[in-house]
């Protein structure tokens, strides 16, 4: 039995509320169980310097966690004068995951920055950030299309992510913190709506895992994607 009482292949409840920030070109608050992340998309009409003159756009991301998003207070990284390695790794993951679903030539020479701020953490914050970040990106691109700033849709497919792992010898979908902190194997799966893999992060935290177990986790991730994409579609409808 899982600590939460869920079935092995059951996602936590997912909700995505859009339009939560008045000034952002796209925004949403995504809730995956008790993990809540505020995602905003900000548009700049100039690309990064290294892309000037190429005709290509850019999607990037920043990630942060509020001090009391967790059980104990974490110091603000700004107060420490630098970002942690974990923060840098997560925001790079979010950026390259979302770029994988974008035709950068259709976006044109502009940049969209996705900000993901964790309000409450209960496992899977990077996955919720990717899933909600896509919704914020979709809403910002919709504004570009409506304004006639671009003529073709640069978003090629949905992009979402989910965690899976081996807990107490069993393969589980969508780990919460209680499961993640005790998992023998932990994995994050980023996929497109069509089921194409963008990135897989897997590690043996307490015990090695077999090829068959890895396949089990991928099967669970693909099943979870259906729920995530359905929530994205409902949010941007």
Strands 58-65 and 111-120: what pairing?
Answer: parallel
Q: Binding site annotation covers 96?
A: no
Q: Answer yes or no: is 70 a known binding residue.
A: no
Could you tell me the two tokens for 231?
């929530």
**126 annotated ligand-binding residue:** yes
What is the b/e burial string over 81-95, where b = at least 16 CB atoms within 10 angstroms of the residue's CB? eebeeeeeebbebbb
Q: Is 148 annotated as a binding residue?
A: no
**Angle between helical axes of 125-147 and 85-99 (0-180°, round to 10):** 40
In a 10 Å sphere around its CB, with 0-12 CB exposed, 13-18 middle and 19+ buried, how is residue 9 labelled? Answer: middle
Tokens 């390259």 belong to which residue? 96
Annotated binding residues for phosphate = 86, 124-126
Q: Binding site membership: which residues?
A: 86, 124-126
């Amino acid at each position: 039995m899982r600590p939460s009482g869920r079935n092995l292949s059951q996602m936590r409840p997912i909700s995505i509320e859009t339009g939560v920030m008045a000034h952002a070109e796209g925004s949403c608050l995504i809730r995956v169980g008790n993990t809540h992340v505020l995602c905003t998309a900000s548009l700049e009409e100039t690309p990064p310097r290294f892309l000037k003159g190429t005709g290509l756009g850019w999607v990037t991301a920043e990630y942060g966690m509020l001090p009391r998003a967790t059980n104990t207070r974490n110091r603000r990284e700004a107060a420490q004068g630098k970002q942690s390695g974990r923060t840098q790794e997560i925001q790079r993951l979010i950026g390259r995951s979302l770029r994988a679903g974008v035709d950068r030539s259709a976006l044109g020479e502009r940049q969209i920055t996705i900000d993901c701020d964790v309000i409450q953490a209960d496992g899977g914050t990077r996955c919720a950030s990717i899933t909600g970040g896509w919704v914020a990106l979709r809403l910002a691109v919709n504004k570009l299309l409506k304004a006639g700033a671009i003529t073709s849709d640069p978003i090629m497919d949905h992009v979402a992510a989910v965690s899976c792992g081996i807990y107490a010898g069993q393969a589980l979908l969508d780990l919460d913190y209680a499961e993640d902190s005790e998992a023998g194997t932990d994995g994050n799966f980023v996929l497109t709506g069509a089921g194409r893999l963008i990135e897989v992060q897997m590690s043996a935290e307490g015990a090695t895992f077999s090829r068959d177990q890895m396949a089990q986790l991928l099967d669970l991730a693909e099943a979870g994607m259906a729920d995530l994409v359905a929530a994205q579609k409902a949010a941007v409808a």
